[in-house]
């Protein structure tokens, strides 16, 4: 099935109705902190994003995952996205950005890691135009091709297309489309490059140093747990007090009966 220009337009216009819980204008009113996470396939972005979520309380958003979820939803825009992807055509940047926007508004958070985005200059321009947001900084996980190939081929639960031919095609797409975006952000002083060939723990120590540079503190789980315990104790104390008050009033009422 060939996707017509009309269907591409419909996919884009359907995206304008995606964010039913808010609008672009409501996004401008929020003080969102956005960090883009870029790196080649197998560079370890996903692992480090999970660490950042755990230690810093960010919400992790993947443009690819959001597109796949929209397809699974069976919505009209999801159908258009599916047809475009089947034909090997690029999903309009506006569609991807609208999905990211909706996820941001629905999350209830104000700190976001956007993984694998922007993939190209068109993505970058669309995101900045539609959200009026520039990233605080861009994490670039710089990993050698040899190491990325090794990691992808050693994955226990790899993608269906994790073979050498498709892996190298993905490297080519990254080099042709995403590296220019990285170079552009580097000119703006936004890139924070990390040697992703190193072991996971060592890489995360470098990530933490970058977050510290921007004054982003780790979430204190101990304090959170203490507050939760204190809150529970107060509730139990209140229940006990109310129970005692009830007994006292019951005794007084019985005296007058």
User: What is the distance between the alpha carbons of residues 41 and 238, in angstroms, rounded to a whole number?
Assistant: 55
- Which residue from 143, 141, 139, 142 is spatially nearest to 190, judged by alpha carbons? 139
User: Does the structure show a pLDDT above 50 at 95?
Assistant: yes
Could you state, in order of their start, the residue ranges of all structural domains in the chain? 5-219, 221-257
In this prediction, residue 156 carries a pLDDT of: 57
Continuous H helices in the chain: 5-15, 24-28, 45-56, 63-72, 76-86, 93-107, 121-131, 145-154, 164-173, 179-187, 200-213, 221-255
157 is in an annotated binding site: no
In this prediction, residue 138 carries a pLDDT of: 98
Rounded to 5°, angle at Cα 104 from 231 and 32: 80
User: Does the structure show a pLDDT above 60 at 217?
Assistant: yes
Mean pLDDT of the chain: 82
Helix (H, G, I), strand (E, B) or coil at 191: strand
193 is in an annotated binding site: no
224 is in an annotated binding site: no
* pLDDT band per the 50, 70, 90 thresholds, residue 257: low
123 is in an annotated binding site: yes
Query: Do you find a cis peptide bond into 118, omega within 30 degrees of 0?
Result: yes
Percent of the chain residues past pLDDT 90, beyond the cut: 60
**Token pair for 38:** 């870029």
> pLDDT, tens digit, for every residue of 131-157?
999 999 999 999 999 999 999 988 755
111-115 and 137-142 strand pairing: unpaired
93 is in an annotated binding site: no
In this prediction, residue 122 carries a pLDDT of: 96
Mean pLDDT computed over 235-256: 62
User: Does the structure show a pLDDT above 90 at 197?
Assistant: yes
What is the four-CA torsion angle of 81, 12, 14, 181, rounded to 10 degrees?
Answer: 70
User: What is the distance between the alpha carbons of residues 207 and 142, in angstroms, rounded to a whole number?
Assistant: 13
159 is in an annotated binding site: yes
31 is in an annotated binding site: no
77 is in an annotated binding site: no
User: What is the distance between the alpha carbons of residues 153 and 229, in angstroms, rounded to a whole number?
Assistant: 46
180: left (phi over 0), alpha (psi -120 to 50) or beta: alpha
User: Does the structure show a pLDDT above 60 at 33?
Assistant: yes
Q: Is the dihedral of CA 39, 41, 43, 45 positive or negative?
A: positive
Mean pLDDT computed over 20-42: 74
72 is in an annotated binding site: no
116 is in an annotated binding site: yes
- In the chain the first and final C-alpha atoms are separated, in Å, by 85
64 is in an annotated binding site: no
96 is in an annotated binding site: no
How many other C-beta atoms lie within 10 A of the C-beta of residue 66?
20
192 is in an annotated binding site: no
Which of the four CATH numbers 3.40.50.2300, 1.10.760.10, 1.10.340.30, 3.40.50.300 does domain 5-219 have?
Answer: 3.40.50.300
Continuous H helices in 89-214: 93-107, 121-131, 145-154, 164-173, 179-187, 200-213
**Token pair for 59:** 């919400």
Work out the widest C-alpha separation in the chain, in whole angstroms.
90
- pTM of the predicted protein model: 0.74
Residues 6+ apart with CB under 8 A from 18: 70, 77, 95, 98, 99, 101, 102
């Amino acid at each position: 099935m060939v996707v017509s220009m009309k269907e591409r337009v419909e996919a884009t216009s359907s995206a304008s109705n995606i964010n039913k819980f808010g609008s672009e204008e409501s996004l401008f009113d929020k003080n969102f902190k956005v960090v883009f996470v870029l790196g080649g396939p197998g560079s370890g972005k996903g692992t480090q994003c999970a660490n950042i979520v755990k230690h810093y309380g960010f919400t992790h958003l993947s443009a690819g995952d959001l597109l796949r979820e929209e397809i699974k939803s069976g919505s009209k825009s999801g159908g258009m996205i599916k047809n475009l992807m089947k034909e090997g055509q690029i999903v309009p940047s506006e569609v991807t950005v609208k999905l990211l926007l909706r996820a941001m508004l629905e999350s209830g958070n104000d700190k976001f890691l956007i993984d694998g985005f922007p993939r190209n200059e068109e993505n970058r321009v669309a995101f900045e135009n539609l959200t009026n947001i520039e990233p605080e900084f861009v994490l670039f996980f710089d990993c050698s091709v040899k190491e990325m190939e090794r990691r992808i081929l050693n994955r226990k639960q790899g993608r269906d297309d994790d073979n050498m031919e498709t892996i190298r095609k993905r490297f080519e797409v990254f080099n042709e489309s995403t590296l220019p975006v990285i170079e552009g952000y580097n000119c703006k002083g936004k890139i924070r490059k990390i040697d992703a060939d190193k072991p996971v723990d060592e890489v995360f120590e470098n990530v933490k140093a970058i977050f510290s540079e921007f004054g982003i503190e780790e979430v204190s789980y101990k304090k959170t747990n203490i507050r939760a315990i204190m809150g529970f104790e107060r509730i139990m104390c209140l229940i006990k007090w109310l129970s005692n008050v009830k007994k006292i009033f019951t005794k007084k009422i019985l005296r007058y009966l």
